[in-house]
Chains A and B, each alone.
Chain A
Amino acid sequence: MKSDAGDIMRLSAAALAVSYELEVQRPDFRTLLVSGLAVEQVNLIAHALAKAMAQEKPVRLFTGATQAPGQSNQDDSTSIHPLKSLVDVVPSGPVSLRRWLGEQAVDGRALVVTPNLLDDPISLAVAAVADGVLLLVQSGRTTRPMCRQAARVLADVSASLLGVVVVGR
């Protein structure tokens, strides 16, 4: 998709708004699952959100989580430091999602990104242990059955759906 400065600014502004809302709703959250329902640009949006959230605390972005949290041993994260976030995302140290979830003492926050909540089995496993879920939906593409199924499966694992971000066409 062709992007321009206006699109990037809009995305950044939306990410800041979401970050602010989450901060107000759950100031103590540590791990957030960012997942989509028929949205193509989940990683891109999550990246922008991580940058916005990094204004407050360091944020670790897990985008390559393809195994259940208890099984992943690889370094599948990048970290976004408050100062460096204005420049770029830097590769993180050797921190796996399992270690992150297990080590409560590690400072900062983590965004675990899964492209599709319903198709990716790790999504629900992470949702169950994360402090909250942020769902990205696409206007005109995400269907009512998808929404109902997502609400049902999240309720089944007692996940807390903190909010929704609507991506327009």
Chain B
Amino acid sequence: MELRDALSVLGRRWLPLVAILAVIVIGSVLVAADGYRHRPYQGSLQVFVWARSPASGISGNRSLESEAGFMAQDLASVLMSRSAASFVSHQPAVRAAGPSTADIQTAVRSSVSGRTVTVTVMESSAAKTRAVVLAERLAVEQRARFVGPVEAARSGARVIGISAPVRSSARSLVLALLVRLVLGLAIAIAVALAWDYLDDAVHDASEFERELGAPVLATIRSAP
């Protein structure tokens, strides 16, 4: 189908196109507005990890530098684990900060860059976010609870930064809105084209010529 044909179809099927687009635009804007009103708070914790000794028999001849990288990965996994989430959620300060919109495991994300683990917490209130971040710091300090004293003794982990809770940027919401609108437009166009494809009725003079194999001599816009 050429672009001109497609535009002609869209002109003909403007009603479903506009209807679908309107529903998607209104829905997207409402979702974005709701998301903006309830956008979460975000706090983070940076942990520096170093290796005190290589893990004999497991890591072979790796240097302490690369060993630290692996230990940072391990720490990130530990902080994302169910047991760490349970530990955090049972901290009195966390419980006192009020209900969570999601369980702690969902609210916590971690990323590793070299020897540094960044734990990000997203919660519905600033107080809850701050309490969870502080409880995560406690979990780092007491990581022997989760990995055992021998493993904990092989590495050192120090909290090097805690960022105060701030509300998430609206940029991601705007981006999500734009993506929804573009997808909505694509869906509306697809529906209009599919509708036209499934409709057996012929609309264009050129299509009549093609189907009947004879020239269209005239088009009467509407017979009286």
Contacts and interface: CB of A to CB of B under 8 A. Distances in A.
Interface of A: 1, 3-4, 7-8, 10-11, 14-15, 17-18, 21-22, 41, 44-45, 134-135, 137, 139-145, 147-148, 150-151, 161-169
Contacts of A162: 214, 217
Contact of B200 (A17, A41, A144): A144
Contacts of A135: 212, 214
A138 B67 CA distance: 78
A69 to B, nearest CB: 23
A164 B224 contact: no
B164 interface: no
Interface residues of B, number: 23
Interface of B: 200-205, 207-209, 211-224
A124 to B, nearest CB: 15
Contacts of A147: 202, 208, 211-212
Given A21-B215, A161-B213, A166-B205, 9 more contacts: A4-B224, A10-B222, A17-B217, A137-B212, A142-B202, A147-B202, A147-B212, A161-B214, A164-B209
Given A140-B201, A143-B201, A3 B217 contact: no
Contacts of B200: 143-145
B203 A140 contact: yes
Contacts of B223: 1, 7, 11, 41, 44-45, 167
Contacts, number: 105
Given A140-B201, A142-B201, A147-B208, A165 B218 contact: yes
Contacts of A4: 224
Contacts of B202: 137, 139-140, 142-144, 147
A8 B224 contact: yes
A110 B221 CA distance: 26
B216 A164 contact: yes
7 contacts: A3-B224, A140-B201, A141-B201, A147-B211, A151-B213, A164-B216, A169-B222
A7 B222 contact: yes
A118 to B, nearest CB: 13
A91 B159 CA distance: 106
B212 A150 contact: yes
Given A4-B224, A142-B202, A147-B202, A168 B212 contact: no
